[in-house]
Chains A and B, each alone.
Chain A
Amino acid sequence: MNERVFVVDDHALVRSGVRTELAGRVRVIGEAGDVETAAAAIPAADPDVVLVDVHLPGGGGAEVIRRVLAQRPSTRFLALSVSDAPEDVIAVIRAGARGYLTKSVSGAELAEAIERVAAGDAVFSPRLAGFVLDAFGATVSVPRDAELDQLTAREREVLRLIARGYAYKEVARQLSLSVKTVETHVSSVLRKLQLSSRHELTRWAAERRIV
């Protein structure tokens, strides 16, 4: 319950806001305002979870994730952003973030998500779940890699409930599963999202600039 968190955001106001919200829940051990500083400071700070903003001067959150993962592959990232543009979401997830939340989440939700990411699980906000359903759902063309390019019926059900605003616990109750199983499904979806070679995914994200 005492995760070490590093915050990367170019707005000092947001950084201090996150610090305040998380006070007493996790330990914020460092912060950075741009890609260079973050890439240099994170491996040394050795955090459990890095909260990273999608839009940053010097290449964006995806760039931070790529650089840090190259030096310290065990680092876990949770993307936090005001931007809900699908291409941004997909970009950070594919770079290696284990989840995506919008900045409107409450401190308690954020702390819970950090805990989950620190434990190696994935964090899907309703919006991210919606994006994934949309991206994987639209086309019925034959996928190249059935295992990676398609969601199972169960994964679909789980995502649909998350998109409806259900917490993992509620999803588990609704589907008569254990929370652990729900987490496994979500992690599997995250893996597909990161590894799938579906070029539709990127095109879809570029086409649908939903706000």
Chain B
Amino acid sequence: MFGPGPACEHRRMEAVGAPRFARRRQGRWLGGVCTGLAAGLGLPAGVVRAVFVLLTLTSGPGVLLLYAVAWALLPPVDPRFEGSGGLSDAVRGAPHVVDALAVLAMVVGGTLLLSEVAARLPRTVLVPGILAAAGAALVWGWGGRASGQDGARPLFVAVGVSLVGVGGLAMLAAVGSVRTLGRSAAGAAVFVAGVALMLGPWLLRLGRDLTEERRQRIRSQERAEVAAHLHDGVLQTLALIQKRAADDREVRSLARRQERELRAWLYGGEVISGTPPAPGGDEPATVAGLLRRELDDVEDRYGVRLEAVLVGDAPLDDPARALVAAGREAAQNAASHAGVDAVDVYLEVEPERISLFVRDRGRGFDPAAVPPDRRGLADSICARVRRHGGAAHIRSAPGEGAEVELSVPRTGITT
């Protein structure tokens, strides 16, 4: 739904990091080591095999040991890259002379060294040593690989672990003469070394996987949040609008409410707006916050757009509450009587007072001609702010719109 999924991404990363040297199944004779080396170096497999055979003939079993180590260390090639057009063919196109020399030097040097060591060490030490080395190689070779033949990994790791264990124990037994140093110390050292060897690659891989997984999780959470919001808010509103297309006022009010919510969500109203609180929810802590909430409510009820400009803010006190309540009343009056679709509201918080203006360009009225029994204007607007030491002025004339000006002094705030 939202671009490539996790699987695709994973695959791409792997392709980029595909190893150049890998054991190959295609055309192999034994473990695919020679074929793999040849592919990695861009040489014919025959040449590499000839070198190995030659070395075996001259240096004896050391080279076989080397072959085993190489087999354990080289990862098996990814089947996706095998065959025509794969990675190997691209690599084979250009022989890497330096690499070839390096590998050759390693092979020859390793063979010579191992032959020499094999000749000097007593067999009781050599055999277990080889076993332990092969085991460690197996664990390193298989344990640190993040993907691929997951089924085979536990088996190879287990074999490697047992080889390390058996080899280490046998070596300890063989060098019995150093028992005076303390068998337990040596045993502990071997044990720790073995554990470090075995767990090292596994921990590395675990760390890598965790980071990757965390990244994926954060992204999918964000995606889910956007999707949920779009679905819950915007799509539902659009559906409602289509259903009530005939009701002008309802459609306007729906669209306006959705616009407000989306804005609050997108631009994250920290100071003032925020998501509209549920009716009867906690009272906002500031004048601007409370006024905005009241105006939103009036907009929803009357389907009239209230263009609010708020300058400054202050903590709520009783006069401020009275001011906002009177302002709400004025906005409602304008929305229901003026016959306009937009009303301007302006709030300014100054050091010594708070002013609120509600203005419409509607049909207007003669303030002197309002009958005394229409108490709304007098009671809920003017008297309310006057009770708190404030002032209220109503300016209007028929055909010229109306403006209600309210202000209350700021009390109790000594900063």
Contacts and interface: CB of A to CB of B under 8 A. Distances in A.
Interface stretch (A9-17, A22-30, A157-165): A157-165
A117 to B, nearest CB: 21
A209 B267 CA distance: 7
Contact of A129 (B271, B309, B361): B309
Interface string A170-211: 000000000000000000000000000000000000011111
Contacts of A160: 346, 348
- A-side interface mostly: loop
B263 interface: yes
B299 interface: no
Given A164-B359, A209-B270, A138 B312 contact: yes
A85 interface: yes
A36 interface: no
B295 to A, nearest CB: 13
A103 B179 CA distance: 89
Contacts of B310: 130, 210
Contacts of B71: none
Contacts of B263: 84, 211
A84 B260 CA distance: 12
Interface string B264-298: 10111111110000000000000000000000000
B403 A164 contact: yes
Contacts of A209: 267-271
A211 B359 contact: no
A127 interface: yes
B212 interface: no
A85 B271 CA distance: 12
Nearest to B269: A211
B117 interface: no
Contacts of A84: 263
Contact of B359 (A83, A134, A165, A208): A165
B344 A211 contact: no
A130 B311 contact: yes
A129 B310 CA distance: 10
B400 to A, nearest CB: 10
Secondary structure class of chain B's binding surface, majority of residues? mixed
Nearest to B360: A165
A126 interface: yes
B175 to A, nearest CB: 71
B307 interface: yes
Contacts of B52: none
Contact of B311 (A83, A163, A166, A211): A163
A127 B263 CA distance: 16
Interface residues of A, number: 22
A113 to B, nearest CB: 16
Contact of A211 (B273, B346, B357): B273
A137 interface: yes
A141 interface: no
Nearest to B346: A164
B309 A208 contact: no
Contact of A208 (B271, B344, B346, B361): B271
A211 B264 contact: yes
Given A163-B311, A165-B307, A210 B346 contact: no
A166 B309 CA distance: 13
B255 to A, nearest CB: 11
A18 to B, nearest CB: 19
A127 B361 CA distance: 17
B270 A104 contact: no
Contacts of A137: 311-312
Contacts of B266: 211
Given A165-B346, A165-B359, A127 B309 contact: yes
B311 A164 contact: no
B24 interface: no
A104 B305 contact: yes
B344 A210 contact: no
A133 interface: yes
Contact of B309 (A83, A126, A211): A126
B269 to A, nearest CB: 5
A210 B271 contact: yes
A178 B407 CA distance: 28
A106 to B, nearest CB: 9
B270 A134 contact: no
A209 B344 CA distance: 20
Interface string B318-357: 0000000000000000000000000010101000000001
A130 B309 contact: yes
Contact of B273 (A104, A127, A164, A210): A210
Contacts of B309: 126-127, 129-130, 163-164
A130 B311 CA distance: 6
Which of B271, B309, B344 has the most chain A CB atoms inside 10 A of its CB? B309
A134 B311 contact: yes
Interface of A: 83-85, 104, 126-127, 129-130, 133-134, 137-138, 160, 163-166, 207-211
Given A209-B268, A211-B273, 20 more contacts: A83-B267, A85-B267, A126-B307, A130-B309, A130-B311, A134-B312, A137-B312, A138-B312, A160-B348, A163-B309, A163-B346, A163-B348, A164-B357, A164-B403, A165-B346, A209-B269, A209-B271, A210-B269, A210-B310, A211-B260
7 contacts: A83-B267, A126-B309, A126-B344, A164-B309, A210-B272, A210-B273, A211-B266
* 8 smallest beta-carbon distances between A and B, as pairs: A165-B344, A130-B309, A211-B263, A164-B346, A164-B357, A134-B311, A211-B267, A165-B359
Interface of B: 260, 263-264, 266-273, 305, 307, 309-312, 344, 346, 348, 357, 359, 361, 403
